[in-house]
Amino acid sequence: MSKEAVKAVIKEFGGQRRMSLAMGGCQQLMANWVKQGYIPHQHLKYLAPITKVPLKDLIRPDYLEVYEWIKAQNV
């Protein structure tokens, strides 16, 4: 995942404030996601179906190998 992918998701919501309202969090949380360059996995189930950003671009880098393995197994 990259900061650009996180920014793309936030942009789809109309900004950090609107996304934080939709997610039930605060704007600072969205700013931290941008700073970290990934969205925590517990939020991906909610975000993946409604965003145009591919799921593999939203996963933390250390989880990407597991994601690729699951996808290869057709699970």
Query: Helices (H) and strands (E) in the chain — how many of each?
Result: 6, 0
**What's the pLDDT score for residue 16?**
92
- In the structure encoding, which two tokens stand for residue 8, read together? 């793309």
Q: Which long-range contacts (CB under 8 A, 24 or more apart) does 63-70 make?
A: 64/1
**What's the pLDDT score for residue 31?**
92
**What's the pLDDT score for residue 44?**
82
How high is the mean pLDDT in each 10-residue block of the chain (75 residues)? 86 92 89 89 82 81 80 75
pTM of the predicted model as reported, rounded to 2 decimal places: 0.73
**What's the pLDDT score for residue 14?**
92
Contact 52, 12 (CB under 8 A): yes
Contact 4, 61 (CB under 8 A): no
**What's the pLDDT score for residue 1?**
59
Domains of the chain: 3-72 (1.10.260.40)
Contact 55, 44 (CB under 8 A): yes
